Amino acid sequence: MMQGFPPPPVERWTPEGWQLGPTNRWTFSHLREVVRTARVPAAPSSARSFEAGKPLDPGMTVTLPDGTVGTLDALLDQTFTDGLLVLHRGRIVMERYPAELTAADTHALLSVSKSLIGCVVGILMDQGVIEEQANITTYLPEFVGLGYDGATVRQVLDMRSGIKYSEHYEDPGAEITMVGQVVDWSPRLLVDLPTSLYDYLTLLIAAGAHGGPFHYRSCETDVLGWICERASGRRMPHLLSELIWQPIGAEQDADAAVDRAGTVIHDGGLAAGLRDLGRFGQMLLDRGRVGDRQVVPEAFLEDTYRGGTDSRAAFGSTSTDTRMPGGMYRNQFWLPYPADRQVLLCMGIYGQMIYIDPARDFVAVKLSSWPTAQQPELLGATLAAVDAIGDQLTT
């Protein structure tokens, strides 16, 4: 894709297809050239360095869920990997860039963005800027009498509002499809749609009581981002930079996609470099600390691992196909296993993932460009590979 000066028309990305394969092998690592973005500044002079650990063998064996056996290298190719970083005991043991992505590029995070926004919420709650049990209309009176009225910050953090919102990407009438048009990520087919994400959120209606089962709704993260901005009086690019990106020692600016009003697409619009995502994951592994600085409150992460009294029940009764029996969703993180195995997962469509495993003291970051948004077999293969990596590191 995009080879030549200029590339021939047949190789150029199009507004309706830039997120799909094979085009996304180029667009995901060139987001600034595809959509509007704001900068999330790093502080390169104080970037956190990594030492090198004992290298992982790319020829190591991985057994897939269907019983087939292959090498890690082959699996990276089969799962359309753009970048893989593995940290063990805080040291780099693998860093690979099999496709268009380089160490100097940012890559679309898609819904991995949600976990970063969740951490901003956790920090602001710890500072007393946001109250966990407050009705969101406390901060956003725009919702009084509308769909989100009555939902609390806690319920939105855990995606347990009663809002009607479909994530079926193939459905032209799904709310997630409408959002793509609102933020200009796809061609505008409905001319009367708003031109800002926040305006669109006020149009959403409730289909049930707030506080019920978990249901995956990207709009919840956008509501959280709006609350953060309104409560703090600062825009999200500044909040991310000041509260997370600079404190973790990021070496390069991140990107935040914005709509026509300058609103960040909180649910999936961030892009960042592979190593900086490793820094974020390592901070989470270290209970929210970088050196002697507490970045994300430890109590917030403890709550994330522990969940609420009914978090696993709410997750188990969902209509969302999670393929995570015994798991839960808390604070904008996935916890894919039953309570006796603590793993944090940040996950986005098209194969984006940060895997934090305290018991085995490792972090894996995988950036990908799957041909379509959701491919369960590729997710299963990725989780099998990460699990095999963890076993290899601890033998």
Q: Which residues are catalytic?
A: 111
**Contact status, residue 112 vs residue 203, Cβ threshold 8 Å:** no
How far apart CA 162 and CA 155 sit, in angstroms, is 9
Contact residues for 145 (Cβ-Cβ < 8 A; gap 6+)? none
**Rounded distance between C-alpha atoms, residue 2 and residue 10, angstroms:** 9
- The DSSP-derived string for 147-215 is TTTT-BHHHHHTT---B-----TT-TTSHHHHHHHHTTSS----TTS-SSHHHHHTT--BSS-TT-S--
Q: Which pair of structure tokens corresponds to residue 172? A: 């032209």
Task: Read off the tokens for 164.
Answer: 């009607």
Smallest CA-to-CA distance from 247 within 286, 302, 289, 207 is with 289
For residue 241, give the DSSP letter.
I
41-to-47, 114, 124, 250, 367 alpha-carbon distances in Å? 12, 19, 19, 9, 21
Terminal alpha carbon distance of the chain? 41
Inter-CA distances, 99 with 18, 131, 316, Å:
16, 44, 37
Distance CA 65, CA 59 (A): 19
What's the burial of 329, exposed, middle or buried (CB within 10 Å: 0-12/13-18/19+)?
buried
Spatial separation of the C-alpha atoms in residues 348 and 271, rounded to whole Å: 12
Could you tell me which of 271, 336, 270 has the C-alpha nearest to residue 305? 336
Q: How far apart are alpha carbons 292 and 272 in whole angstroms? A: 24
Amino acid at 73: D
CB 380 within 8 A of CB 336: no
